[in-house]
Amino acid sequence: MENIESEKVKQLNSALNEQNYMLANSILKELCNISPNTYQYQLNLAATYRKINEPQKSYKTYEIAKKLNNKDPILYFNLANLLHEDLNRIDESIENFLISLSLNPNEIECWKNLSILYMRTDQYDLAIKASDKILSMDALHFDGNAIKGYCLMSLGHIVKAKPFIEKALEIQYDERVMKCLSAINHSLGKVNEGIIQGIKSDGAFVFYSDDRPYKII
């Protein structure tokens, strides 16, 4: 049985390298039948279910994986992404990001996704706190500056918002942030600047989604 399992693991790693998630999913189901209590098999199976657009099966498999290991921040991060992007369960997504961060408070992409969800649900004060955490780790983080500026603007703190929006644009040009700067300049009476910047088109903050299926050693 060990030889069969070892060969299946080699086939799995090859499939993951080739991003053949349908094949990887099939191999992982076999591995889970051989060794149902192996956490990495269940975690990767959940990830590949999402890759092949079967979110409900992905969710159920993450729940199985959680029973085997409830201390892995990657599991909660992946589950939070699934809940938000595929299942539209925002409150549960936020809850899982918070659990992930309680296990690994230095995961900047997790803070980023959490801040975006707070922003999208109009919880601007919480989004600002999350973006402050990002900026404490990386003062030149584009989204940290952009999200904080946008949230300050949304709360009516126009003057405070402007330097964060300008800093974001120094780091990376982005049309949606230009629109924020346009709105700020209109509010501050700089109409000509606002009109010029307002020509730029709209956009949306990019959610960092990573299922993280990874090689099994």
Q: Decide if 161 contacts 149 (C-beta within 8 A).
A: yes
Query: Which residue type does 155 have?
Result: L
What average pLDDT does the segment 153-176 reach? 93
Tell me the pTM.
0.87
**pLDDT band for position 107 (cuts 50, 70, 90):** very high
The residue among 204 and 96 whose pLDDT is bigger is 96
**pLDDT band for position 203 (cuts 50, 70, 90):** very low
What average pLDDT does the segment 178-196 reach? 76
* Burial of 198 per CB tally in 10 Å (0-12, 13-18, 19+): middle
138-160, pLDDT tens digit by residue? Answer: 999 999 999 999 999 999 999 99
Pick the closest to residue 151 from 179, 123, 174, 178 (CA basis). Answer: 123
Pick the closest to residue 166 from 182, 154, 151 (CA basis). Answer: 182
The residue among 205 and 128 whose pLDDT is bigger is 128
Structure confidence at residue 213 (pLDDT): 57
How far, in Å, CA of 110 to CA of 207, rounded? 10
How far, in Å, CA of 59 to CA of 56, rounded? 5
**pLDDT at residue 12 tops 90:** yes
**pLDDT at residue 3 tops 90:** no
How far, in Å, CA of 144 to CA of 109, rounded? 10
Q: Decide if 213 contacts 24 (C-beta within 8 A).
A: yes
Structure confidence at residue 212 (pLDDT): 63
Report the b/e string of 21-48 with b at 16+ CB within 10 A. Answer: bebbbbbbeebbeeeeebbbbbbbbbbb
How far, in Å, CA of 94 to CA of 114, rounded? 6
Instruction: Tell me the angle at which helices 73-85 and 39-51 cross, rounded to the nearest 10 degrees.
Output: 20
45-96, pLDDT tens digit by residue? Answer: 999 999 999 999 999 999 999 999 999 999 999 999 999 999 999 999 999 9
How far, in Å, CA of 7 to CA of 38, rounded? 16
How far, in Å, CA of 167 to CA of 216, rounded? 41
**pLDDT at residue 108 tops 90:** yes
How far, in Å, CA of 148 to CA of 168, rounded? 10
Structure confidence at residue 194 (pLDDT): 54
| Mean pLDDT over each residue of the chain, to the nearest integer | 89
Report how far Cα 40 is from the mean position of its chain's Cα atoms. Answer: 21
